[in-house]
Amino acid sequence: MPLKVCVYGSGAREEAIRDAVSKSKLCENLVEDPEAADLIIFGPEQPICDGLVDHYCQKGIKCIGVDKKFSQLESSKLFAKKFMANHGIKCAKLLPLESEIFPQVVKADGLCKGKGVKVVYNSKEKDEFTRKIPAPYFIEEYLDGSEISVMSYFNGQKLVNFCPARDFKRLNSDKKSPNTGGMGAYCPVDLSEYQQNRLDLYLKLLEQALIDEGASFTGFIYSGLIWTRDDWYVLEYNVRLGDPECQAILNYLDNDFLSILLEDVIPRYKKGYSACLTIASEGYPDNPIKGDEIILPDGDNSVKVYFAGVKTENDKLYSNGGRVLSLCKVGEEPFVDLKNYAEKIIMKHKIFRNDITIF
Ligand code: AMP
Ligand code: GLY
């Protein structure tokens, strides 16, 4: 029977989920009120870590979202470290708090909206950062390599894995520019056969770890991985789809997203690459300017536009956040088209990365 579906949350990721769900044969309609839904799909980490999945499950509503216990994989980096250690999953080694081996990585233990992690290169940087973040924090070794994001769906019994994606976290190409929520993403990432084999092995370990720990939720687990020392090391877990990786993956899917979640169907993809480019507002991430009128170019329907931080007033669009729009396209060189489209958008303080490419 078709379902009334509520997608919980309000950014571009959630818009992309709504778009995919509304096309599903299993969806009757989208509803805003979770109490009125047969199925709730959770977007952001905060409600998941606050235990809202447990809350709605207890009311008998089916939820796609990690339960409170396993949400600690994201909300407590030390919980995640213990989970990995118990199951032989590789990650960066913890260093003593007073370690003077640089570079090193300082990480706040709790949720910090992407602002709790910094690679520091000397004691001065370390002191400045540790004074800014909430305690407790810890120090880990710096790993050098290329990163991928792998999003998986745990259906209560096994993992269904989406193809690897890559996001661009830095505000611009400068290695020291600030971390953002993500300035762009693409998928798939081309891996060597050896890298793919090691990835399959890692994902089996993760699946077995969840089963052995008695996980019974249905929800998304995001593994932030880095390729170093000839293997994948976990940098972080998130208990949700990544933003903007989600937009890239969902536009790349060639079959019904809800069937993947509810009917054990394997994801299939379109040809070429899928990319997503963030239009942000000057001042992002710390102090974005809001209130610019936005005029989108006419006549290019091949680019999908999701609203991340947009307000509508009298049929006009205005910027209303740091990340404003998420542009998506599938093709052979999608970033070229996205950049051209981005240039044509009228918005006084728009910023976007024009150096992003597929590599
Ligand atoms: P996290 O929120 O833990 O993923 O950290 C954000 C970003 O910081 C990651 O995507 C990496 O680019 C970087 N990072 C985190 N941990 C490490 C590490 N141990 N070594 C090098 N870079 C790291
Ligand atoms: N794009 C990374 C994240 O969603 O945390």
Q: What is the pLDDT of residues 149-167, one digit of tens each?
A: 999 999 999 999 999 999 9
| Centre of ligand 1 from the C-alpha of residue 301, in Å | 36
| Centre of ligand 2 from the C-alpha of residue 1, in Å | 33
Q: Is residue 307 part of a domain?
A: yes
How far apart CA 129 and CA 114 sit, in angstroms, is 14
pLDDT score at 202 = 98
Backbone angles phi, psi at 148, to 5 degrees: -135, 160
Number of domain units in the chain: 4
Q: Domain check: are 156 and 253 in the same one?
A: yes
Average of per-residue pLDDT across 94-99? 95
**Ligand 2 atom, smallest distance to 182 CA:** 1
Q: Domain check: are 137 and 155 in the same one?
A: no
The amino acid at 332: E
Q: Domain check: are 101 and 30 in the same one?
A: no
Q: Is the CB of 140 under 6 A from ligand 2?
A: no
Q: Is residue 281 part of a domain?
A: yes
| Centre of ligand 1 from the C-alpha of residue 120, in Å | 11
Q: Are 190 and 164 in contact (CB under 8 A)?
A: no
pLDDT score at 334 = 97
Q: Which residues pair with 117 in a beta bridge?
A: 107
Name the nearest CA neighbour of 68 among 86, 90, 42: 42
pLDDT score at 157 = 96
Q: Is the CB of 69 under 6 A from ligand 1?
A: no
Percent above pLDDT 70 for the chain:
100
How far apart CA 8 and CA 44 sit, in angstroms, is 8
Last residue of a domain, one of 241, 262, 283: 262
How far apart CA 125 and CA 312 sit, in angstroms, is 41
| Centre of ligand 2 from the C-alpha of residue 181, in Å | 6
Residue 37 belongs to what domain range? 3-64
Q: Is the CB of 117 under 6 A from ligand 1?
A: yes
Q: Are 319 and 349 in contact (CB under 8 A)?
A: yes
Average of per-residue pLDDT across 208-226? 98
Q: Is residue 56 part of a domain?
A: yes
Q: Domain check: are 112 and 162 in the same one?
A: no
Q: What is the pLDDT of residues 15-74, one digit of tens each?
A: 999 999 999 999 999 999 999 999 999 999 999 999 999 999 999 999 999 999 999 999
Q: Domain check: are 176 and 256 in the same one?
A: yes
Q: Domain check: are 104 and 163 in the same one?
A: no
**Ligand 1 atom, smallest distance to 116 CA:** 2
Q: Of all residues in the chain, what percent are helix, strand and coil, respectively (each to 5)? A: 30, 30, 40
Q: Is residue 87 part of a domain?
A: no
Q: Is residue 77 part of a domain?
A: no
Q: What is the pLDDT of residues 112-122, one digit of tens each?
A: 877 789 999 99
Q: Is the CB of 105 under 6 A from ligand 1?
A: yes
Q: What is the pLDDT of residues 235-291, one digit of tens each?
A: 999 999 999 999 999 999 999 999 999 999 999 999 999 999 999 999 999 999 999
Taking phi over 0 as left and psi of -120 to 50 as alpha, with beta for the rest, 114 belongs to left
The number of beta carbons lying within 10 Å of the beta carbon of residue 163 is: 18
CATH of the domain at 152: 3.30.470.20
Name the nearest CA neighbour of 284 among 321, 320, 327: 321
| pLDDT reading at 104 higher than 90 | yes
Q: Domain check: are 129 and 158 in the same one?
A: no
Q: Domain check: are 160 and 251 in the same one?
A: yes
Q: Domain check: are 152 and 258 in the same one?
A: yes
The secondary structure element, H or E, covering residue 316 is strand 316-319
Q: Is residue 169 part of a domain?
A: yes
Handedness of CA 249, 158, 224, 150 (dihedral sign): negative
Q: Is residue 51 part of a domain?
A: yes
Q: Where does 92-230 show beta strands of DSSP type E?
A: 94-95, 104-108, 117-120, 137-141, 146-154, 159-161, 166-167, 184-187, 219-228
Q: Is the CB of 238 under 6 A from ligand 2?
A: yes
**Ligand 1 atom, smallest distance to 143 CA:** 20
Q: Domain check: are 168 and 228 in the same one?
A: yes
- Candidates 167, 168, 247: which one to mutate for ligand 2, based on the most atoms within 8 Å of Cβ? 167
* Atom 3 in ligand 2: residue holding the nearest Cα: 242
How far apart CA 233 and CA 354 sit, in angstroms, is 29
CATH of the domain at 9: 3.40.50.20
Q: Domain check: are 213 and 294 in the same one?
A: no
Q: Domain check: are 283 and 189 in the same one?
A: no
Last residue of a domain, one of 107, 141, 175: 141
pTM of the model as a whole? 0.96
Last residue of a domain, one of 262, 291, 310: 262
Q: Is residue 177 part of a domain?
A: yes
How far apart CA 165 and CA 151 sit, in angstroms, is 8
pLDDT bracket for residue 110 (50, 70, 90): confident
CATH of the domain at 307: 3.90.600.10
pLDDT bracket for residue 308 (50, 70, 90): very high
- Candidates 45, 117, 220, 245: which one to mutate for ligand 2, based on the most atoms within 8 Å of Cβ? 245
| Centre of ligand 1 from the C-alpha of residue 117, in Å | 7
Average of per-residue pLDDT across 318-325? 97
| Centre of ligand 2 from the C-alpha of residue 315, in Å | 31
Q: Is the CB of 14 under 6 A from ligand 1?
A: no
How far apart CA 90 and CA 194 sit, in angstroms, is 17
How far apart CA 298 and CA 289 sit, in angstroms, is 25
Q: What is the pLDDT of residues 193-215, one digit of tens each?
A: 999 999 999 999 999 999 999 99
